[in-house]
Chain A
Amino acid sequence: MSEFSLFDKTSSYDGIYMTLMVNRIQMLYFAIIMPVFLIDPYMIWVIIIVGVLSQISIFMLSKWFNSKYAFKGYGGFVELFGERMVRLLSFIGIGFILLKVTVITLGYIEVVQQFIFPSVNTNWMLLYILLICWYVASLGMANTIRFIVIAFLCTAWMLLLLLNFLFQPFATIHDLFPLIPYEWTMKSWKGVLFIWSALSGPEYLVLLSPWFNTREKILKYMTIGNAFTIFEYVFIFIASLFFFGSHYVGENKFPLVEMIRYLESPVFERIDMILISVYLFQFVFAISIFLLLFYGATRITLKKSKDQTTRSGFALCCALLFISLMISNELLWKKATNQNILLELEMWAGSLTYLFVPLVLFISLKRKGRV
């Protein structure tokens, strides 16, 4: 075994990986619980409008990819903000990454606990999933980015299963009416916030820019990813309206899983168990990427970014992540009354990062360009 290098820039990837990553990172835990926050049929328009807004963020991010700083990675950020500032930002970023990982991981584990193993100790499950992610991430950033293709191919087809619900005998077009909001409450605003937060995630991809090569078309590729996500959201939402009806959809905790549960395959009766497990591909990918970012951010904060990555340092980071996840699981997530705190926090945090990261990058690029 030669030296352990996680952030080797050995290969440079096409824009297609960007498409897939943008799409999959937007389709995490929030996609499973999405219909609960939307409920009314007219929220279809909200998804589309927020999707278009998200396109603006994507546009600003793509400007970063096109800039000369992007290729340099960490060096680029230092040039733009100065080292002290970068360290501060990465320190703040650790918090956001931690929160995001916490919510998606614990959320997924809760789904597993709810539908597959009601009696499992979730901390064990957490340990196993993090062990897998540790293995994935320890193979290096280049391999982890490449894993997106497998993750995408293994999970994206599940959308087709939802086609079933358009042809159920109880589904009628009337479930989608009315299409215009006649009352707009605090809850609807929350829905908007939720969608915006659900679409967040691509802002973390700017950190992976050194691994990408085709800079000119990156906007196109990111747009495709974003558009596909919006299509998926709309499709899932329409399917859930057909399946539950807008009055019943709010009564379920995990509408998407409930829908999958209703499907029947000729061989196995409960295919939701298989499909939930297949979903793990996507979560493993996302958590591994965040794990690597977490490690990278920690190194930058501790002024170690020039040193060789070490196995023990990485393992320590993983252990740290595991411990903090376990603590938040024990203290917050396990108690249903506290669970909302984390979810709410992540909704705000996701929205904030998705709003400000592209904005800050864009503005500072403009300023640098003028000077």
Chain B
Amino acid sequence: MFRKRKRKSTGVGDRMKNSTGKAQNTPITIEVLRERVDNMEDAEIIEHQTHNNSTIIMVYIRTLIDIARLNESVIQPLRSCRNKNLSECISASKITEILMVEEAEKQLMRGAILIFDTDENQCCSVNLKDSLGRGIETSETETILYGAKDSFTENLEQNITLIRRRLPITALKTEKFTVGSLTETNVVIMYIEGLTNPKFITIAREKIQNINYDQILDSSQLAAFMEDHKHSVFPQFQQTDRPDVCVYSLGVGKLTILVDNTPFALNAPINFFHLFQSPEDYINRWIVASFLRIIRYISFTLSLLMIPLYVALTTHHYQMIPLQILFVLVETRSQLPLSPFWESLIMLVTLEVIKEASLRMPTKSGQTLGVIGGIVVGQAAVEAGFASQILIVLVGISAIASFLVPNYLMSKANTLIQFIILILASFLGVIGIFMGIILLTVHLNALTSLKQPYFAPVAPFYGKDWLDLFIRGPLHWMKTRSESLHPLQKWRYSRRR
């Protein structure tokens, strides 16, 4: 801890910290303020004569405030106002009186204007923040066919609004924190009082308060600082840009963390199986939803194990391959220069390259790239005697299967695990694969999210939660909230007696 602080002391953040930390009690004067906004082209200081001949100085940052509102609610009233008291002239909902320059500075940078009354030698601030930002659009990362289409934006207030509209209860609490010495990012924890387990809230609060870093630009960075196991490939927070998902998680007893300037909220504590749940599960009919969920689990396993199995079978266990396929394999494999392990390693890396490239491309060329990458490279690899057709088929299937995992971060983790199991498979065959799976489950078993077990309804075992685990049971059967989250209110029904 100490070392970190020392190293930072030369940085910008430190200067800022010192200025805020030390001079907590510099009284506000216009000179000090002028000094602070020096060299800022967009800072404007305007003097204004009122009707009773007093001078009023307004300080604001042009790029942060709404100029139209400035004219309308400050300048116009001041011109016409004959009242001695400043605050009674201005038609704004909230006028704060300011004594210290640091406070003034903070307000200024958040889009307020400062008004000095030189006669009275008092200063007040009026918030005229320009609500810049895009409108509410449909989610692009978690698209669904039916169901709500709105998604979060970069605007924190707006995001809170989206959640509050869906949960119009006063028990929905918001706690605000500021993290990051440079970015001063606002972070809001939301939870339902009397439902969410207070333990989670305490842990989350503690973790956010302990963050000591200069820039928090995204919620995933926040998550990185809050995670219990920082070296794991598995995400321990669910990132979503869908308000309905957040509301659902709040309703079952999780908490949501919103970060300013990011459209992605964090939900925690989660478990491994939450990564396989899509918002659509609760919209589809339960049998269909269950089927789709099972398909998702199967495809996750397939994408994880198919290539390693191919390698294991072709390197060690030819006995397991059905006779007809064996003959095809022997024939194609015997013309290839690479061993099955290297063959699949190269194909998998190529696939990852194509995936990553098509992601970075603009949408339209991305599609072309996908097609070219998929068909041409695959076909060419076979014809050039680089890979066997069966491997290409398997790589294709496992790639498509990996897309079925709704959580994008998870599908990235997926690939990494696949490589590890691949190595084990080429080394020890089927038993190597299972050693890999054992290591994986042991790792998952030991993971925690907000100190809650990550493999929750399975280990530790909560039988009732299984209704919404591998299947999505009918809603009217799910009478209680998930036990693994230890909610304070167990029943989802209001029980009439």
Contact = CB atoms under 8 A, between A and B. Distances in A.
Question: Is chain B in direct contact with chain A in the complex (CB below 8 A)?
Answer: yes
A146 B431 contact: no
A274 B430 contact: yes
Contacts of A150: 441, 445, 455, 458-459
A267 B446 CA distance: 33
A280 B446 contact: no
Interface stretch (B42-50, B199-207, B243-251, B317-325): B317-325
B438 A146 contact: no
Contacts of A146: 445, 453, 455, 459-460
Contacts of A60: none
Q: Classify the interface of chain A: helix, strand, loop or mixed.
A: helix
Interface in B436-459: 438-439, 441-442, 445-446, 453, 455, 458-459
Interface string A142-176: 01001111100100000000000000000000000
Interface string B188-201: 00000000000000
A13 to B, nearest CB: 7
B297 interface: no
Interface in A10-29: 11, 13-14, 16-17
Nearest to B313: A268
A237 B497 CA distance: 53
Contact of A269 (B321, B434, B459): B321
Contact of A273 (B317, B323, B455): B317
Given A112-B431, A132-B435, A284-B438, A273 B459 contact: no
Interface in A263-308: 267-271, 273-274, 276-278, 280-281, 284
B372 interface: no
A270 B438 contact: no
A136 interface: yes
B458 A270 contact: no
A269 B439 contact: no
A56 interface: no
Interface in A58-79: none
A184 interface: no
A268 B442 CA distance: 27
Given A150-B458, A269-B322, A277 B441 contact: no
Given A150-B445, A270-B320, A277 B460 contact: no
Contact of A116 (B430, B438, B455, B459): B430
B322 A149 contact: no
B433 A277 contact: yes
Contacts of B429: 116-117, 273
Interface residues on A, range: 20 to 34
B431 A132 contact: no
A147 B459 contact: yes
Given A149-B460, A150-B455, A270-B320, A278 B434 contact: yes
Contacts of B442: 132, 135-136, 139, 143, 147, 284
Contacts of A280: 431, 434-435, 438
B184 to A, nearest CB: 31
Contacts of A143: 442, 445-446
Given A112-B431, A117-B429, A135-B439, A153 B319 contact: no
Given A268-B320, A270-B319, A277 B458 contact: no
Contacts of A128: 428, 435
B491 interface: no
B327 interface: no
B316 interface: yes
A70 B455 CA distance: 28
A246 B429 CA distance: 35
A132 B320 contact: no
Contacts of A271: 320
A220 to B, nearest CB: 16
Contacts of B441: 147, 150
Interface string B394-420: 000000000000000000000000000
Interface in A312-368: none
Interface in B316-367: 316-317, 319-323
Contacts of A17: 461
A332 B455 CA distance: 41
Nearest to A17: B461
Given A269-B322, A270-B319, A132 B430 contact: no
B434 A117 contact: no
A281 B455 CA distance: 16
Contacts of B430: 116, 273-274, 277
B464 to A, nearest CB: 13
Q: Residue among B428, B441, B458, B461 with the most chain A CB within 10 A?
A: B461
Contacts of B458: 149-150, 153
Given A147-B445, A149-B459, A269 B438 contact: no
Contacts of B322: 267-269
Contacts of B319: 269-270, 273
A150 B439 CA distance: 12
B168 to A, nearest CB: 38
Contacts of A268: 320-322
Interface in B446-497: 446, 453, 455, 458-461
Contacts of B316: 117
Contacts of B446: 139-140, 143
Nearest to B461: A149
11 contacts: A116-B430, A135-B442, A139-B445, A143-B442, A146-B455, A147-B459, A149-B458, A149-B461, A269-B323, A277-B433, A278-B434
Given A280-B435, A281-B438, 20 more contacts: A13-B460, A16-B461, A117-B316, A132-B442, A135-B439, A146-B453, A147-B442, A149-B458, A149-B459, A267-B322, A268-B320, A270-B319, A271-B320, A274-B434, A276-B431, A277-B430, A277-B433, A280-B434, A280-B438, A281-B434
Closest 3 CB pairs of A and B: A277-B434, A149-B459, A139-B446
